Amino acid sequence: MAGRVIAIDGPAASGKSSVSRGVAAALDWLFVSSGHFYRTVAWGTVRDGVSSDDLAAWISLRQLTLLNDNKDQGTTRNISLLLDGENTTPHLSEPEVAATVSLIATVPAVRDFINARLRALAEHHDLVMEGRDIGSVVFPETPWKFYLDASPEVRARRRSSEGAIDSVSERDRLDSTRATAPLIIPNGSIVIDTTHLDLQQVIATVLSYLDPLTVTPTRSVQ
């Protein structure tokens, strides 16, 4: 890992995505949603009608292309994904994807396929990467790990206010109980309860731990 990585993990609708975008914009680092990789694969399984028995063979034949986007919303450096040449961005919030993604995410061959690509990004970029296992599995060696949480009521409200049809509690259950890379608080992470904080307050809290980053990049935030 040549670049620096800020890992931000947490359950569904805990604010990871908006916070990670804000932190990436503040630092001018690349924002990466690892969930977009899982959603991309989930969409591909829906597109191709792949059964769980065939998933490992199917994934081994996939072509995933990463495109550097211009700054989205004018502020954040981002990437978009092509699966077998098709742009998956318009599909990532589809109900079939939300219903499938935590199932395909239990499959080790899928996780290996995605993790290799997430790690390759750090060869050439400083990253703010959000997900479920970024601090625990993908980049356990990074000194900058955060875990965001919020009450289940607030998380359900946030997600429905986005207009998304999403089984947040069922995904949380699957994500926390799976055998491979379950959602956990990674060792050494800073835990931030966002229940009573607005977006700017959470971004400011994360950034407040990062001053050492610009001074002595090898020092832990703790």
User: Site residues (CB under 6 A) for ligand CDP?
Assistant: 12-13, 16-17, 33-35, 38-39, 101-102, 105, 131-134, 171, 175
Q: How far is the CB of 155 from ligand CDP (least distance, A)?
A: 9
For ligand CDP, which is the closer residue by CB, 116 or 211? 116
Cα-flanking dihedrals φ and ψ of residue 144, to 5°?
-110, 90
Tell me the two tokens of residue 49.
Answer: 């009608």
Task: Residue 138: count other Cβ atoms within 10 Å of its Cβ.
Answer: 25
Decide: 166 and 12 in contact? Cβ < 8 Å: yes
Q: How far is the CB of 35 from ligand CDP (least distance, A)?
A: 2
CA 146 to chain CA centroid, nearest Å: 12
**What type of residue sits at position 209?**
Y
Handedness of CA 157, 21, 109, 52 (dihedral sign): positive
Q: How far is the CB of 212 from ligand CDP (least distance, A)?
A: 25
Nearest to 206 by CA among 3, 7, 31, 73: 7
For ligand CDP, which is the closer residue by CB, 20 or 77? 20
* Nearest position to ligand CDP, beta carbon: 35
Q: How far is the CB of 179 from ligand CDP (least distance, A)?
A: 12
For ligand CDP, which is the closer residue by CB, 14 or 126? 14
CA 13 to chain CA centroid, nearest Å: 11
For ligand CDP, which is the closer residue by CB, 35 or 143? 35
For ligand CDP, which is the closer residue by CB, 80 or 212? 80
Q: How far is the CB of 217 from ligand CDP (least distance, A)?
A: 24
